[in-house]
Amino acid sequence: MDDDARNWFERTKDYVNELKLEMRRVSWPNRKQVQGTTVVVIISVFLFAGYFEVVDSILTRGVNGIIHFFEK
């Protein structure tokens, strides 16, 4: 094994060990927290979808009005 390969192997090994150490420090959310944030995300998605539907409808009517105005 040449120096570059050994060096790469050692760096990779160090990286994995540091990653394991860091993952032990992570505070993971409990089931209730995950469910709560999931509900918030789902509600937010539907609210934004409704908002964009309204904005799209208004812009479509406006553009169509302008097009019909200049077609005459």
Confidence of residue 6 (pLDDT cuts 50, 70, 90): confident
Q: Coil, strand or helix: which one is 4?
A: helix
According to the model, what pLDDT value does residue 20 have? 96
7-34 confidence digits (pLDDT tens)? 889 999 999 999 999 999 999 999 999 9
37-63 confidence digits (pLDDT tens)? 999 999 999 999 999 999 999 999 999
Amino acid at 68: H
